[in-house]
Structure 1
Amino acid sequence: MTTVTATARVELQTPEGWVAVCDRDRLTPGRGVAVLLPDGSQAAVFTDRQGTLYAVANRDPFTGAYVLSRGLLGSTAEGRVYVASPLLKQRFDLSTGECLDDPAVAIAVHTVRLG
């Protein structure tokens, strides 16, 4: 007999409701995963070393490339957790979406939970 254990699923809130996007164990602290949402848009899902989940738009507004999931996480001296774009290195606050290097630019932030 084989025992199957349930894996926690990461879910994002969409206008249609909560959508499961990946298994929790697929996330590595400090690295992202790109996910496709039902409306065709992409999100970048991250977890930090404390286990906090974050989800933001995957599109880098400076280049138009869908690469933020490939960025690295860091934090400011004030404790703001950010992802640095792998292309031009702009940093985006994962809680607010604000670009820390150009406050006139921001990315969408998604509500995320474990389901």
Structure 2
Amino acid sequence: MQPGRGVAALVGDTQVALFRLADGSVYALGNIDPFTGAAVVSRGIVGDRGGEPTVASPLYKQVFALRDGRCLAGADEGDAVSLPAFVVRVMGDALQVGLR
């Protein structure tokens, strides 16, 4: 996985967006944008807000925290909306994603 970019994976029957950051940390979120229903989160723009690692949806640019999937958009844009966040573990060259 290229740092700063996302990739999509199918884990069981769940679409997951995986992200590796420049520091080597890896995050896994649901790949379905809750605002559009499109499977696009893995193609989002990786960044941060005040040290919080984030991804912005490529469609309407809502920003989600990579740690827990919270939407960091304003209250009128989905304050109560979030993406599912999954536990991810690096095992050599493989990633293990724990679905809840």
Give identity over the alignment, percent.
48
Write out the 4+ residue segments of structure 1 that deviate beyond 4 Å after TM superposition.
none
- The CA deviation string for residues 43-63 of structure 1, in whole angstroms up to 9 with x for no partner, is 000011111000000000000
| 1:61 and 2:34 aligned | yes
Q: Give matches, 1:5-24, under 5 Å.
A: none
Matched, 1:29 2:26: no
- The unaligned stretches of length 5 or more in structure 2 are 92-100
- Alignment size in residue pairs: 87
Higher relative contact order, chain-length normalized (CA < 8 Å, sep 6+): 1
What amino acid maps onto 2:27 in structure 1? Y
Once the two structures are superposed, residues 56-112 of structure 1 have per-residue CA deviations (whole angstroms, 9 ceiling, x without a partner) of: 0000000000000000110012x1101000000000001011000032100100100
- Structure 1 gaps of 5+ residues are 1-26
- Residue identity opposite 1:83 in structure 2: V
Q: Deviations over 1:2-58 (max 9, x none)?
A: xxxxxxxxxxxxxxxxxxxxxxxxx111110100011x1100000111110000000
Q: TM-score, normalised by structure 2?
A: 0.84
Q: As a proportion of its length, which structure holds more strand?
A: 2
**Aligned residue for 2:86?**
110
1:98 maps to: 70
How large is the Cα RMSD of the aligned pairs?
0.7
* TM-score normalised per structure 1: 0.74
**In 1, Cα distance between equivalents of 2:48 and 2:56:** 10
